[in-house]
Structure 1
Amino acid sequence: MPYCPADKELFPLKNQTPLNVPPVEQSEDKKIKKVIKERIFRGKNQREYLVRYRNPVHEDEWLAESEIPDSNKCLRRFRHERRPKA
């Protein structure tokens, strides 16, 4: 059902003030917080990594290693965290 403004004759005391909704900050610069998972496509010998962004507006997504900015640092930390503790 579409929105219909209130009828002033039926509701004379009701004030309709427009809502001031702040704009959602959409950062075009997606900064990676951490790498969460790794998946391997066996036939293609290709790896993808599930990355989480710092800005909660952006959802987690699968990226190839070549698509991850500063991938050496991110992947080194990911592999270090997965290593078994002695």
Structure 2
Amino acid sequence: MYQPADKELFPLSNPTPLTVPPVEQSEDKNIKKFIKERRLRGKNQREYLVRYGHPVHEDEWLVEPEIPESHKLMRRFRHERRQQA
């Protein structure tokens, strides 16, 4: 557990407040399409493998609340899956 330094023992100690760098919201992180869908075990939640307009290694799994405008992308994803079946 952290305790501040004793001013009598360490008079020159002046702790500087820590600052957290802002999370970069890059404009090029627009989701192009969903690739796959999977259910999380023990949860009533689904994850979607999303593809950006970048190389495949940048694809990532996201849950629905993390996806902006997910309803539009999901509609297109499900429509494409029905067409393939």
TM-score class, shorter-chain normalisation, is 0.5 to 0.7
Task: Give unpaired runs (5+ residues) of structure 1.
Answer: 1-26
3-state SS, counterpart of residue 83 of structure 1? helix
Equivalent position of 2:26 in the other structure? 28
Identity %: 72
User: Aligned equivalents of 1:85 and 1:57: distance in 2?
Assistant: 22
Q: Which amino acid aligns with 2:62?
A: L
Equivalent position of 1:79 in the other structure? 78
3-state SS, counterpart of residue 81 of structure 1? helix
Count residues with an aligned counterpart: 60
Q: Which amino acid aligns with 1:37?
A: K
Equivalent position of 2:39 in the other structure? 40
After superposing on structure 2, the runs of 4+ consecutive aligned residues of structure 1 that deviate more than 3 Å are: 55-58
Q: Which amino acid aligns with 1:54?
A: G
Asked whether 1:54 is paired with 2:50, we answer no
Q: Which amino acid aligns with 2:80?
A: E
Q: Give the root-mean-square deviation of aligned CA atoms.
A: 2.4
Equivalent position of 1:12 in the other structure? none
In terms of mean alpha carbon deviation, does 58-67 or 71-80 score higher?
58-67
CA deviation after TM superposition for structure 1 residue 55, in Å? 3.5
| Higher Cα Rg, which structure | 1
Larger helix percent: 2
TM-score (norm 2): 0.61
